[in-house]
Amino acid sequence: MKLFLDTANVDEVRQGAAMGVLGGVTTNPSLMAKERGADFRQTVIEICELAKGPVSAEVTALDTAGMVAQGREVASWHEHVVVKLPITPAGLAACRELRGEGIAVNMTLCFSVNQGLLAATVGATYVSPFLGRLDDIGHDGMALVAELVEVFRVQRFETQVLAASIRHPLHVVQAAKVGAHIATMPFKVLMQMVQHPLTDVGLERFLADWERREVPKPALA
């Protein structure tokens, strides 16, 4: 399973990339809006350069023609751009068209197996089930991820399941166990994955022991 960052913050992408674990990045209009004053195009290009992998950039048009036009535009910014479209009737039609032109598409805001099936049917490169938002309303978000993985495998769809709306490190473990192809997470969750108090204590002890070691005295000439 590849690990993506769910952010529009260039600095977070830089830090994730420096760790060597970053497979790609997902953004959305809300994450972009958090980066006050940032230029959409510039930010996406900068993130693509750092991530060196797929970077989802979402369109804001609601009609098929508008989505296709915006999709072509964002896809022209960088080879790593993946056009992010909502799973709506217009979004499905736009996905079919953009995929026909060889443009990668991430179909987002997936909350049911049927939505995922439709996205795969129009050739989506990725489909993003929002598991945290389902958990928030008392549903089992991870069950949707697992079902999508199974359906795509049984039906031999090439569409990849991109587990999104991840809230904590346990979500990442569970997504890996059920076979998600990708998990996209906030920077905070990525840092929680790497941190463990016993690692800190162990490292401190190793270094203290190293400092206290007995060193051989230099022989007299």
Radius of gyration of the chain (CA): 21
Question: From the CB of 209, what's the least distance to ligand E4P, in Å?
Answer: 42
Q: Does 128 bind ligand E4P (CB under 6 A)?
A: yes
Question: From the CB of 200, what's the least distance to ligand E4P, in Å?
Answer: 28
CB atoms closer than 10 angstroms to residue 170 = 12
Binding residues among 175-204 for ligand E4P as defined by CB under 6 A: 184
Between CA 203 and CA 212 the distance in angstroms is: 14
Please name every residue paired with 13 in a beta bridge, in sequence order, or none if there are none.
Answer: none
Between CA 198 and CA 9 the distance in angstroms is: 30
Q: Please say which residue, 21 or 207, places its beta carbon nearer to ligand E4P.
A: 21
Q: Does 28 bind ligand E4P (CB under 6 A)?
A: yes
**C-beta separation of 12 from 5 below 8 A:** yes
Question: Which of 43, 108, 125, 160 contacts ligand E4P by CB under 6 A?
Answer: 108
Q: Please say which residue, 58 or 205, places its beta carbon nearer to ligand E4P.
A: 58
Catalytic residue among 84, 177, 188, 217: 84
Q: Please say which residue, 78 or 133, places its beta carbon nearer to ligand E4P.
A: 133
Question: From the CB of 143, what's the least distance to ligand E4P, in Å?
Answer: 17
Q: Please say which residue, 50 or 221, places its beta carbon nearer to ligand E4P.
A: 50
Between CA 99 and CA 163 the distance in angstroms is: 21
Q: Where are the alpha helices (DSSP H) in 35-168?
A: 40-51, 64-75, 89-100, 113-121, 131-136, 141-154
Burial class of residue 101 in the structure, from the number of CB atoms within 10 Å of its CB (0-12 exposed, 13-18 middle, 19+ buried): exposed
Which residues, other chains included, contact 92 with Cβ-Cβ below 8 Å and sequence gap of 6+? 107, 118, 119, 122
Q: Please say which residue, 130 or 157, places its beta carbon nearer to ligand E4P.
A: 130
- What 3 state SS string does 20-55 have? CCCCEEECCHHHHHHCCCCCHHHHHHHHHHHHCCCE
Binding residues among 34-93 for ligand E4P as defined by CB under 6 A: none
Near ligand E4P by CB under 6 A, which window of 130-138, 140-148, 169-177, 195-203? Answer: 130-138
Q: Does 6 bind ligand E4P (CB under 6 A)?
A: yes
Residue 84 designated active-site: yes
Q: Does 165 bind ligand E4P (CB under 6 A)?
A: yes
Provide the annotated active-site residues.
84
Residues that bind ligand E4P (CB under 6 A): 6, 26, 28, 108, 128, 130, 132-133, 164-165, 184
